[in-house]
Amino acid sequence: MFEVLGFEFFRNALIAGVLASVACGIIGTYVVVRRMVSVSGGISHAAFGGIGLGYFLGIDPLLGATGFTVATALGMGTLQLRARQQMDTIIGAVWAAGMAIGILFVYLTPGFAPDLFSYLFGNILLVPQGDILLMGVLVAIIVAVVAFLYREFQAVTFDPDYARVMNLPVERLWLLLLVLVALTVVMLIRVVGIILVIALLTLPAAISRLYTTRIWSMMLLAVALGIAFTLTGIGLSYLLDVPSGATIILVSTFAYAGALGAERLRQGD
């Protein structure tokens, strides 16, 4: 299958897979340790509203999704901090409302919405050069912010009350973390699609959690696992001629199940 590496679309797919895995491993680690899985699910589904908005305005849907998702993350974070509503209800509402907005915008857009399906389920083999560039910029931002604020994020995700007692800007850090989740989600849309984002965001980090003792080592292993899963998934989907996003997710899920099973056996001894 190595002759396929000669094709530009395939090289782009591999680059996109690696970039997405880096973002996933880093941000997914926070999502897993802070138990933000459902918030991230809400943010990622709300991204569909941004895709629809992009179609409606005639701009790159991914650009629409970036703005819309970041705004959703900020809104949801603010609600969580201020309103004393049940968070799971808010997440459910935002989740559905985002999808609904997307559907309306797509309906209102004259003509046919091309590759709408690939935003929902991902198609990494069709990632254009421009999106690779956008993904590269987003990864650079994510890595830089986390490197700069590693200690603060650790304090805020470990024990927010204590961080507040120490006068750290807890609210701003929390919102920033949600924005990073939003940016990561946007990157993953190309790779696995809106509906499957949450799995790639959390599974590598969840497996890594079993074998690591610190945030940074958990991130490194999660990135490595993410790369392994996406590349395996891309290769398999090419060989078997099946959808890439779904293949990547199933590879990750099998690995997670395997890791949990192995852990069970190890602890049983």
Partner 1 sequence: MTAPVIEVEDVWIRLRGHTVLEDVNFAVHQDDFYAIIGPNGGGKTTLLKVILGLLQPSRGAVRILGATGAAARRDLGYVPQFRTFDFEYPITVREMVLSGRLGHITRIPRRYDAEDRARTEKALETMHIIDLADRQIRDLSGGEQQRAIIARALVSDPKVLLLDEPTVYVDAPTAAQFYSVLDRLRERMAIVLVTHDIGVIPEHVTRVACLNRRLYTHDTNEITPDMLEAAYHCPVDLIAHGVPHRVFSEHTKEE
**Nearest in space to 16 (alpha carbons), one of 159, 255, 211, 230:** 230
Identity of the residue, 86 or 167, whose beta carbon is nearer to partner 1 in the bound complex: 167
Identity of the residue, 140 or 165, whose beta carbon is nearer to partner 1 in the bound complex: 165
Stretch that binds partner 1, among 103-111, 133-141, 144-152, 192-200 (CB under 8 A): 144-152
**Nearest in space to 127 (alpha carbons), one of 20, 253, 26:** 20
Of residues 176 through 195, those in contact with partner 1 by CB under 8 A are none
Return phi, psi of residue 192, to 5°.
-120, -5
**Nearest in space to 91 (alpha carbons), one of 184, 198, 176, 163:** 198
Question: What SS3 class is residue 212?
Answer: coil
Least distance from C-beta 176 to partner 1, angstroms? Answer: 14
Structure tokens at 259: 């890791």
Q: Please tell me whether residue 209 binds partner 1 under the rule CB under 8 A.
A: yes
Q: Please tell me whether residue 224 binds partner 1 under the rule CB under 8 A.
A: no
Structure tokens at 107: 């309906």
Q: Please tell me whether residue 264 binds partner 1 under the rule CB under 8 A.
A: no
Identity of the residue, 34 or 97, whose beta carbon is nearer to partner 1 in the bound complex: 34
Of residues 68 through 97, those in contact with partner 1 by CB under 8 A are 84
Q: Give how far the C-alpha of residue 228 lies from the chain's centroid of Cα atoms, to the nearest Å.
A: 16
Q: Which residues bind partner 1 (CB under 8 A)?
A: 33, 84, 148-149, 151-152, 154-155, 157-159, 161-168, 209, 212-215, 217-218
